[in-house]
Amino acid sequence: MTTSDTLSSEQVISLAKQHLTQNYTRYPVALVRGSNSWVWDAEGNRYLDFFPGWGCGILGHCPPRVVQAVQEQVATLIHVPNTWYTEPQALLGQALGERTDFGGVSFFCNSGTEANEAAIKLARLNGKPKNKYKIVTLTGSFHGRTMGALTATAQPKYHAGVEPMLPGFNYAPWGDLDAVAKAIDGETCAVMFEPIQGEGGVNVPPAGFLEGVRALCDHHGLLLILDEVQTGMGRTGKWFGYQNWDVKPDIITLAKALAGGVAMGALVARPEVAEKLKPGTHAATFGGNPLAARAALATIETIEQEGLLERGVQLGARFLHRFTELKEKCPLVTDVRVKGTMIGVELNVEGAPVVQACLEKGLLINCTHQTVLRLLPALTLSDEQLEDGCDIIADVLLALRP
């Protein structure tokens, strides 16, 4: 396909404004193709993508092994319901279980919010015999936009207009172990949070926090649910974010990078916890379909065969060096938080103009919590691309400094 075969950006945007719901803030660019960390718009302009697919593109755009796997599978078997077994789904369950180091078994769905809905239900099913149903979550969290996951998301701005929220959630301040302890009562069945908050501002927990929550859960007989939708699949330099600490959860949830850009979510739970999911308790029509499962297997294979967990650590170190250096030169930068390729650069000004200026210079990044530049680059990013992108961010911020 060439750019002459496509609609112009203006035509695409006009059609979208007429015929799509307007619930997204979109930039006036229509993207038509991608390769690794590059994407092109309808006019053939090229952009370096430091936020591929909102973190779904852990291997960049159109990774070859994933493309090949999908092409083969789409010509073989696209979808069958979960009333039948398929080889890709079974192999993917095995692959995830072997990498969770708690022998996890998997339920597959299509997104992060679905995975978290499944986790909420599973926690309540486990708490049912003792009439426990409440879940403690943390301020600044983001767990999704379906009603259960949205209620778990302890940010009032996302609840506005759709109240009342579901009963059974207690909120505690992020990183405050004493507050988590106080939020637990006799009806609590689980504590649920992200090992590193993404949308909340790329917040890394204080030392001892994860281990402390694990101890609280053990003491009160609660499940520890870790939302790994953004931190999972190598994003932090480990297969899963929790593996950066000395803890083992009871349930993790996955999505985003799981299938290299193909829609897929998963709940992975300890077998004795997962056994409460009996026929009829939960399901997902498209969950774990052969197409998505093959894509996920190809993603895992690529990460392992190309040594990308180690590459993520190297990239993180280079990003930390570049932005720490920038912080010393630019008073607009107040903090830099990096774990693998999960990167937050906190500013003392609004980040939206910075994102716009980077876009105009050919770099795609994100801003969250108004003031935190969030980068989730592909593990396949080259050193040259890293330096070029950091140069653009530095140029933009240094031009804005007072």
pLDDT > 60? residue 2: no
Annotated binding residue at 335? Answer: no
User: So what's the pLDDT on residue 48?
Assistant: 98
Which of 132, 134, 238, 256 is labelled catalytic? 256
Name, in order, each residue with C-beta under 8 angstroms of 176's C-beta and a sequence gap of 6 or more.
none
Annotated binding residue at 286? Answer: no
Tens digit of each residue's pLDDT (9 = 90 or more) over 26-61: 999 999 999 999 999 999 999 999 999 999 999 999
User: So what's the pLDDT on residue 133?
Assistant: 98
Distance CA 16, CA 23 (A): 12
Cα–chain center distance at 332: 27
Annotated binding residue at 112? Answer: yes
Distance CA 90, CA 267 (A): 14
Which of 142, 193, 319, 323 is labelled catalytic? 142
pLDDT > 80? residue 324: yes
- Is 17 part of the annotated catalytic residue set? no
pTM of the entire structure? Answer: 0.96
Residue 5: pLDDT band with limits 50, 70, 90: low
Annotated binding residue at 139? Answer: no
Q: 66-306 has which fold?
A: Aspartate Aminotransferase; domain 2 (3.40.640)
Characterize 112-149 residue by residue with b for buried, 16 or more Cβ atoms within 10 angstroms of its Cβ, and e for exposed: bbbbbbbbbbbbbbbbeeeebbbbbbbbbbbbbebebb
Which of 108, 134, 209, 227 is labelled catalytic? 227
User: So what's the pLDDT on residue 6?
Assistant: 76
Annotated binding residue at 229? Answer: yes
Tens digit of each residue's pLDDT (9 = 90 or more) over 134-169: 999 999 999 999 999 999 999 999 999 999 999 999
pLDDT > 50? residue 1: no
User: So what's the pLDDT on residue 42?
Assistant: 92
What would the mean pLDDT of 217-246 be, rounded to a whole number?
98
Which has the closest alpha carbon to 143: 184, 201, 193? 193
Cα–chain center distance at 21: 24
Annotated binding residue at 113? Answer: yes
What would the mean pLDDT of 109-122 be, rounded to a whole number?
98
Annotated binding residue at 145? Answer: yes
- Domain residue extents for the chain: 66-306, 309-350+381-401
Average pLDDT, the chain: 96
- Is 142 part of the annotated catalytic residue set? yes
pLDDT > 80? residue 4: no
- Is 383 part of the annotated catalytic residue set? no
pLDDT > 60? residue 266: yes
Residue 72: pLDDT band with limits 50, 70, 90: very high
pLDDT > 90? residue 206: yes
Q: At what angle do helices 352-360 and 383-400 cross, to 10 degrees?
A: 120
